[in-house]
């Protein structure tokens, strides 16, 4: 978020209105549009949601909405790259940090559960409607997702050094599937906490039975 700065030439300001507030307002509005689109896409699908519905939910005129986004597809892309970028940043922080492989596997579970429970609507949209992205965005999203998978594979390779590469990929896909499928059954209001979910996933994956 931009903040007012004293170095701005006074001529560029409207009286009584600090420079930067236009940009800040723009960002607030844009976030409101993204939130509205996320709720609607998750509830009724990308194809089942019109730009007019998004405008209405964001409390903005449809014409004004197009000052903020170019298309419904751009909204989808912003939503999907937003949470996937967070997942990649969190996983990369774990793999590039200190600690042994078992600690890192536990930390990957913790941070990924946190991202997915924070963004279960976005994951629902990804699962159902990622195919509505244009080709370029589809490739970019796949690269972000592969980045997350690479982090998991790197740690899994160290945790289970006897596994072949095809097995490392199977385990990574399975564990990411375990966490990602939270979108299907996790709802904050039902009382499960991200901490309790992560603890139980760690118990099973790291501890096994008994």
3 state SS of 162: coil
Q: Confirm or reject binding of residue 60 to a copy of itself (CB under 8 A).
A: no
- Return the closest-CA partner of residue 112 out of 141, 77, 148: 148
DSSP state letters, 177-204? HHHHTHHHH--GGGS--HHHHHHHHHII
CB of 176 to a copy of itself, least distance (A): 8
Q: Which of 66, 181, 187, 195 binds a copy of itself (CB under 8 A)?
A: 181
Count of Cβ atoms closer than 10 Å to residue 86 Cβ: 17
Looking at the Cβ atoms of 75 and 106, the one nearer to a copy of itself is 106
197 binds a copy of itself (CB under 8 A): yes
| Contact status: 52 vs a copy of itself (CB under 8 A) | no
Cα–Cα distance list, 193 to 5, 9, 121, 186 (Å): 41, 50, 16, 9
Q: How far is the CB of 95 from a copy of itself (least distance, A)?
A: 16
From CA 170, how far away is CA 176, in angstroms rounded? 10
Q: How many residues bind a copy of itself (CB under 8 A)?
A: 40
Applying CB under 8 A, among 10, 15, 16, 210 the residue interacting with a copy of itself is 210
Three-state secondary structure call for residue 6: coil
Among the candidate windows 6-14, 59-67, 88-96, 185-193, which touches a copy of itself by CB under 8 A? 185-193
Provide the minimum distance between the beta carbon of 77 and a copy of itself in the complex, in angstroms, as a whole number. Answer: 20
Is 144 within 8 Å of 137 (Cβ atoms)? no
Closest CB to a copy of itself among 129 and 137? Answer: 129
Q: Cβ distance 35 to 125 under 8 Å?
A: no
CA–CA distance, 129 with 149 (Å, rounded to integer): 20
Query: Of the ranges 17-25, 49-57, 86-94, 157-165, which one interacts with a copy of itself (CB under 8 A)?
Result: 157-165
11 near a copy of itself, rule: CB under 8 A = no
- Interface contacts to a copy of itself, rule CB under 8 A: 47-48, 101-102, 105, 127-128, 159-160, 163, 166-167, 170-171, 173-182, 184-185, 191-192, 196-197, 200-201, 203-210
């Amino acid at each position: 978020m931009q903040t007012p700065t004293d170095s701005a030439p006074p001529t560029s300001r409207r009286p009584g209105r600090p420079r930067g507030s236009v940009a800040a307002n723009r960002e607030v509005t844009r976030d409101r549009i993204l939130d509205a689109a996320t709720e609607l896409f998750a509830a009724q699908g990308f194809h089942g949601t019109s730009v007019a519905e998004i405008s209405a939910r964001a409390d903005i005129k449809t014409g004004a909405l197009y000052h903020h986004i170019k298309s419904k597809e751009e909204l989808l892309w912003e939503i999907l790259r937003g949470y996937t970028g967070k997942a990649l940043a969190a996983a990369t922080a774990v793999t590039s940090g200190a600690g042994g492989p078992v600690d890192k596997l536990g930390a990957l579970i913790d941070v990924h559960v946190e991202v997915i429970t924070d963004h279960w609507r976005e994951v629902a949209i990804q699962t159902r409607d990622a195919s509505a992205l244009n080709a370029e965005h589809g490739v970019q999203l796949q690269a972000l997702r592969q980045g997350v998978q690479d982090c998991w594979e790197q740690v899994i390779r160290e945790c289970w050094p006897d596994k072949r590469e095809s097995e490392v990929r199977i385990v990574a896909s399975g564990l990411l599937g375990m966490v990602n499928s939270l979108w299907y059954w996790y709802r904050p209001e039902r009382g499960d906490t991200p901490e309790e979910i992560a603890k139980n996933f760690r118990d099973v994956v790291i501890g096994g039975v008994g």
